[in-house]
């Protein structure tokens, strides 16, 4: 039993680390393509900090998973960790948004707002995907802030 527990703990940590590395690479690239690039570096810091706080506080409280948030009073955090489709939507939307921003980056305009305005002038399908990913991304950022703020209390 202890082997299984340590293997699943290792797997959980490895999963989170690989997710953070892929997000970090995308955000570091975007910080070089857009102005202000600091926006992407702040998002990177928030992503790493929130996941570190979530994992570490779970470890300290003796939980077997950082996704065990039953004792928290925050409904959005419970929804995020309790319903895999919602979590998947938020996570995938964030990564797809970063990929969209990467694909639409050009040498003519390094302004993030100008590129977003340009995306909104694309085909209706592109606009729907962009807005959907923006909603999922925003929810994920709110959840990241909640994770950091709850761990500070």
Report, as residue numbers or ranges, the catalytic residues: 19
Q: Is 148 exposed, middle or buried (0-12, 13-18, 19+ CB in 10 A)?
A: middle
Distance of CA 137 to the CA centre of its chain: 7
Distances (CA, A) of 123 to 24, 114, 119, 127: 29, 17, 9, 6
Residues 14 and 20: their CA atoms lie apart, in Å, by: 10
DSSP 107: S
């Amino acid at each position: 039993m202890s082997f299984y527990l340590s293997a699943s703990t290792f797997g959980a940590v490895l999963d989170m680390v690989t997710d953070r590395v892929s997000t970090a690479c995308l955000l570091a690239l975007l910080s070089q393509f857009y102005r202000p690039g600091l926006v992407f570096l702040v998002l990177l810091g928030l992503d790493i900090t929130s996941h570190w706080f979530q994992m570490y506080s779970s470890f300290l409280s003796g939980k077997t998973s950082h996704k065990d948030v039953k004792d928290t009073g925050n409904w959005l955090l419970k929804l995020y960790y309790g319903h895999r489709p919602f979590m998947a939507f938020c996570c995938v939307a964030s990564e797809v948004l970063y990929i969209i921003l990467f694909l639409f980056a050009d040498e003519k305009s390094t302004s993030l707002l100008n590129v977003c305005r340009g995306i909104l002038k694309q085909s209706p399908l592109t606009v729907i995907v962009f807005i959907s990913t923006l909603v999922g991304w925003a929810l994920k950022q709110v959840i990241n802030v909640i994770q950091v703020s709850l761990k500070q209390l």
